[in-house]
Amino acid sequence: MIVTLKQHTSLEVCASAIRTCWQSFDKSDNGGEKDRELIDRVGNKFKHASTLEHLFYTFYIQDVSRALLQELARHRIASLSVKSTRYTLKELKNEESFTCKDIQRASKYLVMTGINMVDEMSIIALENLRLVLGTGISNDKAKYCLPESYKTELTWSVNARSLQNFLTLRSDKSALWEIQNLAHALYDALPIDHKYLFNIKTYED
């Protein structure tokens, strides 16, 4: 899994939006400590969380499974643009056949769980998909053979309020293991001066 922060809104923008309510622009320190404290106080402590919606983050997320993508789609206050299987399944057509022992080569296309039986069955499904593609069946029909472990990538844009909700829910140990990893990777990718706005759960091994 690779997570890259492509762009983000400055704290100054969010602080300015909050100061609009009281017309207290003269107290701004251009995203400095006063503005940081204001955002936390109003957005978090006073629970006026709508003010956090002025902060936006856009991430590029690579090498995640379609199983994770389904979980991600449940977070509706966000925008995602996903790698198209209609146009990109052709990359699999020219591969040589896979056996269930070809874990390293298959990992180009699949997220591996580390559980031998699960990973081997995923490789068998990958080989079945490759065979279907080789018959000339269209990608739109062939993609119904995709295993849940098939890798994809996406651009994901989310505001701070929604990201707070995502990180709280998805860093919990009851969440899907892969989306737990994503939650931590997203947090790690945030600008250092923004991290104070977010809580993320950590667990001892």
The residue among 132, 128, 87 whose CA lies nearest residue 110 is 128
Residue with tokens 């994901």: 156
**Cα first-last separation, the chain:** 20
When computed from its CA atoms, the radius of gyration of the chain, rounded to whole angstroms, is 21
CA 21 – CA 31 distance, rounded (Å)? 17
For residue 2, the SS3 value is: strand
**E strands, 108-164, where?**
151-159
Structure token pair of residue 137: 């069946």
The residue among 43, 60, 41, 40 whose CA lies nearest residue 51 is 43
Residue tagged active-site, from 36, 130, 161, 170: 170
Parallel, antiparallel or unpaired: strands 2-8 and 151-159 = unpaired
Give the CA diameter of the chain: 69
CA 144 – CA 159 distance, rounded (Å)? 33
Is 76 catalytic? The answer is no
Residue 41 DSSP label:
I
Catalytic residues: 170
